[in-house]
């Protein structure tokens, strides 16, 4: 969740403690151990800071996000395009508040050509050469407007200590997502999803930073909780080369080890979900792997000191 800031909370747009722009790419492959057609998720995002006031205590963040999911033999595909805006305001020398909003277009489509149906069962196996009637869908795709809001609060009393908490509400317009004709008494609207997180960054010395993280999300009757900690080690002494490692736990589902490397303005991260739920009996604990690349830097040199909202850094 830490590698997808705009997806978790639109208030993260333009909140870039170690620069004024960033571009990120994420790829996740899940349940390959269960199916020849795993769930694949790809996202690309970018954001930057602009319209900074003369005292450097407030600025606007703008950005965009593309998210694509492909799942299963039916090639159930979801494509979402979002644009985000956020405003960040220092409220004293050691704290910052951010408010964000994003709006986007979402498309979900399905291809039933490769699915099997009860009429193809011959008593022993599914005969794919036998014709069968697919369910009669009103449409094979659904399009809708999707809206999100969020807020963040950051507290940094000194250069070695940083705390950040945020809350967001996704799908606040409750869009309809369905391939069926709406029937009386059936609610095909997407439930509002609520996300919350708490992060910290603690610089122990010139070579070591530790970062505990907590994330919680709930939607309708479903929920997810992830907690863990990572450590960053300054290999080069000047912050140009950094190694990171961490471990996280998704409640009642998986253990997630993570490793990463920073090379100047580029950050590479890899994580793997090791199943700990009852599903481990079928997956042999092989859940998902995720890879991310992040580039962040400075387009416009800061006037005077660097921004007060910096996280602890080796640079």
pLDDT (0 to 100) of residue 307: 52
**How many structural domains are present in the chain?**
1
Calpha distance 196→166 (Å, rounded): 6
pLDDT (0 to 100) of residue 129: 65
- Tell me the CATH number at 170: 2.40.160.60
Residue 312 in any domain: the answer is no
pLDDT (0 to 100) of residue 238: 86
Residue 81 in any domain: the answer is yes
Residue 305 in any domain: the answer is no
Residue 67 in any domain: the answer is yes
pLDDT (0 to 100) of residue 234: 95
Q: Average pLDDT across each block of 10 residues of the chain; the chain has 315 residues. List them in order.
A: 90 89 95 78 95 82 96 84 96 92 96 73 69 70 96 93 96 92 75 97 95 97 96 92 96 94 95 85 79 90 50 65
0.85 cut: is pTM over it?
yes
Residue 302 in any domain: the answer is no
Residue 314 in any domain: the answer is no
Residue 159 in any domain: the answer is yes
Residue 303 in any domain: the answer is no
Q: Which domain holds residue 13?
A: 5-297
């Amino acid at each position: 969740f830490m590698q997808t800031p705009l997806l978790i909370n639109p208030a993260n747009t333009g909140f870039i403690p170690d620069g004024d722009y960033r571009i990120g790419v994420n790829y996740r492959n899940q349940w390959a151990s269960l199916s020849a057609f795993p769930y694949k998720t790809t996202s690309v995002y970018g954001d930057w800071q602009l319209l900074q006031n003369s005292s450097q205590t407030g600025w606007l963040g703008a950005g965009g996000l593309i998210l694509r999911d492909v799942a299963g033999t039916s090639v159930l595909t979801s494509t979402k395009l979002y644009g985000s805006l956020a405003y960040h305001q220092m409220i004293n020398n050691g704290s910052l508040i951010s408010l964000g909003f994003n709006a986007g277009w979402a498309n979900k489509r399905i291809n039933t050509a490769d699915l099997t149906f009860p009429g193809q069962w011959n008593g022993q196996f599914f005969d794919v050469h036998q014709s069968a009637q697919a369910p009669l869908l009103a449409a094979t795709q659904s399009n809708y407007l999707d809206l999100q809001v969020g807020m963040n609060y950051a507290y940094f009393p000194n250069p070695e200590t940083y705390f950040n908490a945020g809350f967001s509400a996704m799908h606040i317009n409750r869009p309809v997502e369905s391939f069926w004709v709406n029937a009386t008494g059936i609610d095909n609207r997407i439930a509002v999803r609520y996300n919350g997180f708490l992060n910290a960054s603690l610089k122990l010395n010139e070579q070591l930073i530790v970062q505990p993280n907590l994330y919680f999300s709930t939607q309708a009757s479903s929920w997810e909780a992830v907690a863990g900690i990572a450590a960053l080690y300054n290999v080069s002494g000047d912050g140009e080369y950094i190694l990171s490692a961490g471990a996280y736990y998704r409640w009642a589902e998986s253990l997630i080890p993570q490793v990463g490397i920073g090379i100047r303005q580029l950050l590479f991260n890899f994580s793997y979900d090791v199943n700990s739920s009852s599903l481990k009996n079928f997956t042999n604990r092989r859940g998902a792997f995720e890879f991310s690349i992040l580039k962040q830097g400075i387009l416009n040199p800061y006037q005077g000191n660097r921004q007060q909202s910096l996280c602890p850094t080796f640079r």
